[in-house]
Chains A and B, each alone.
Chain A
Amino acid sequence: MVDARGLSCPTPVILTQKAMKSKEDYYEVLVDANTPCENVTRYAESQGYSVVVEEKDGEFLLKISK
């Protein structure tokens, strides 16, 4: 689980990138703005993951899986 709320890009993507070094099949990333949501999604997809976004109270939970 990466908590990237309130962090401005590209930090959320860098945190995701670092987390993904462990090569697991499932990650969760929490962000609170549209731009990091899009950027993390774009990065995860470029790494061969698929992403499901759940939006709640202005926060986005990205469920990233292989």
Chain B
Amino acid sequence: MNKKNDKLVMIIVGLVIGVISAALVYFGNPKNMGFCIACFIRDTAGGLGLHKAPPVQYIRPEIIGIVIGAFVAAFAKKEFRSQGGSAPMTRFILGFFAMVGCLMFLGCPYRMILRLAGGDLNAIAGLVGFVIGILCGVFFLKNGYSLKRTYTLTKAEGYILPIIQVVFFALLLVKPAYIAFTEAGVGPGAMHAATGVSLAAGLFVGAAAQRVRLCMVGGIRDLVLFKESRLLLGFLAIGVAALITNIALGSTGTPYFVLGAEGQPVAHVDGLWNALGMLLVGFAGVLLGGCPLRQLVLSGEGNADSAVTVIGLMVGAAFCHNFGLASSGEGPTPAGKAAVIIGIIVVALIGIVNTYVKQEAKAAAETK
């Protein structure tokens, strides 16, 4: 594929994903939350009973769709590879704290764009923090940060997370008593598009994101590192398309684009903590090699390291709600603030250990 086509395909895919994301709100998802990888993994954790926060319990078919969509696309293109073994616990911890950052801000990088497209000015603080976090990560990358190599694993390894998603879908359909559902009016978990619509949207986004390697962290990272704008164009296209769709949907009588900071849906107005939350997400995302969406897609491609990261995100979400770390519309919690600070320190330590300590070990080995 030549370079120009490459970018054009990315823009078209971004535009379509943007329209789908905004349309999902019309079909029932919470405002400015057509997609949110962090919120939806959190809702799924709640649906499974891993946390007991009544407003956010629903096994989201979008997540299931993304993993399965990426799996099918990778399989069809013979890109499915069962790989793993690169610093799994480090990735788990990075995933965990990425979620802590997301739930401080109330959204993953994908939802950050959708919030901007809905007129939520609080997301600007998030974006500033996100860029700073990515620059922190890029600093380590430039100085030699890398997690160890992955290895080819047995085929079964790569199938596990996609199979788990199928099981989740079965649980969603069968609705056994131990699966929790947010009751209407209690919180965003009760707001969702029809199962089939959500699943179809997830499948498309998963497959499309797999094909073009869409990544919100990668967009800004590659621009800084290589002056490569392709991924960033996808990011921008999603925002533009969602914005236009939101404005167009306003003609239905319900406003989908409301410019301002106060009273935005599933958001708070604390700029500093919006920024610090996303700083943590950007920083952890660069060290992981991709944003939460990309981790889902990679896990669908058979990457067991990303699957471990996804589990880290899910456990992080459960912790956030079990220990009161997640923000709410009223703002961040003291425990959440402490967790974000701890997260930034831990991620920085992971960066240092895998950049400098590793180099020292290597130098010592070479002088022997």
Given contacts A8-B150, A45-B3, is CB(A38)–CB(B226) below 8 Å?
no
Question: CA A17 – CA B142 in complex, angstroms?
Answer: 10
CB–CB B147/A8 < 8 A: yes
- Per-residue CB contact flags for chain A residues 1-40 toward chain B (1 = under 8 Å, else 0) read 0000111111101100100000000000000111100100
| Contact present for A14 and B81 (CB under 8 Å) | no
- Contact assessment for A33 and B149 in the assembled complex, using a CB-CB cutoff below 8 Å: no
**Bound CA span A46–B222, Å:** 13
* Chain A residues touching B, range: 20 to 34
Range, interface on chain B: 20 to 34
Q: Are B226 and A17 in contact (CB under 8 A)?
A: yes
Is there contact, CB below 8 Å, between B149 and A5? yes
Residues of chain B within 8 A (CB-CB) of A8 are: 86, 147, 150, 289, 305
| B21 contacts the other chain (CB 8 A) | no
Q: Does B146 contact A (CB under 8 A)?
A: yes
CB-based A-B contact count at 8 angstroms: 55
CA distance A14 to B230 in the complex (A): 17
The reply on A42 being an interface residue by CB < 8 A is: yes
Residue of B nearest to A8 (CB): B289
Q: How far is the CB of B75 from chain A (nearest CB, A)?
A: 13
B52 CB-CB contact with A under 8 Å: no
Most chain B CB within 10 A, of A11, A46, A58, is at: A11
Considering the chains assembled together, what is the distance between the CA atoms of A8 and B141 in angstroms?
A: 12
Q: Which of A9, A13, A45 has most B Cβ within 10 Å?
A: A9
Enumerate chain B residues within 8 angstroms of A45, measured Cβ to Cβ: 3
Contact A11 B151 (CB under 8 A): no
Flag if A13 contacts B149 (CB, 8 Å).
no
Q: Is the interface of A mostly helix, strand, loop or mixed?
A: helix
Whether B141 contacts A14 by the Cβ 8 Å rule is yes
Q: From residue 37 to 51 of chain A, which have CB atoms closer than 8 A to chain B? A: 38, 42-43, 45-46
**B226–A34 touching, CB < 8 Å:** no
Task: Say yes or no for B186: interface residue by CB 8 A criterion.
Answer: no
A17–B141 Cα gap in the complex (Å)? 12
Is there an interface contact between A6 and B151, defined as CB atoms closer than 8 Å? yes
**Pairwise interchain contact A10-B86, C-beta atoms closer than 8 A:** no
The answer to whether A10 touches B147, judged by C-beta atoms less than 8 angstroms apart, is no
Q: Which residues of B contact A10 (CB under 8 A)?
A: 141, 218, 221-222, 225-226, 289
**Complex-state Cα separation, A13 to B151, whole angstroms:** 19
Give chain B nearest CB distance to A55 CB in angstroms: 11
Q: B224 to chain A: closest CB distance in Å?
A: 10
Cβ contact of B149, chosen from A7, A17, A58, cutoff 8 A: A7
Bound complex: CA of A46 vs CA of B3, how far in Å? 9
Complex interface: chain B residues within 8 A of A17 (CB): 225-226
Residue B83 lies at the interface, judged by CB distance under 8 Å to chain A: yes
Q: Cβ of B86: which chain A residues have Cβ within 8 Å of it?
A: 6, 8
Q: Which residues of B contact A7 (CB under 8 A)?
A: 146, 149-150
Residue of A at shortest CB range from B213?
A: A35
Contact B3 A13 (CB under 8 A): no
CB distance from A38 to the nearest CB of B (A): 7
- Shortest distance between the CB of A6 and any CB in chain B (Å): 3
Is A42 in contact with B142, judged by CB distance below 8 angstroms? no
Contacts of A33 in B (CB 8 A): 79, 81, 83
A11 partner residues in chain B, CB cutoff 8 A: 141, 146, 289
Please tell me which one of the listed residues A5, A14, A35, A42 contacts residue B225 in the complex, with CB atoms under 8 A apart.
A14
Beta-carbon contact of B81 and A6 below 8 Å = no
In the assembled complex, 7 residue pairs joining A and B whose CB atoms fall closer than 8 Å, in A order, are A8-B305, A10-B141, A10-B218, A10-B225, A11-B146, A35-B213, A38-B213
3 interchain residue pairs of minimum CB distance: A6-B149, A8-B289, A6-B150
Binding site for B on A (CB under 8 A): 5-11, 13-14, 17, 32-35, 38, 42-43, 45-46, 58
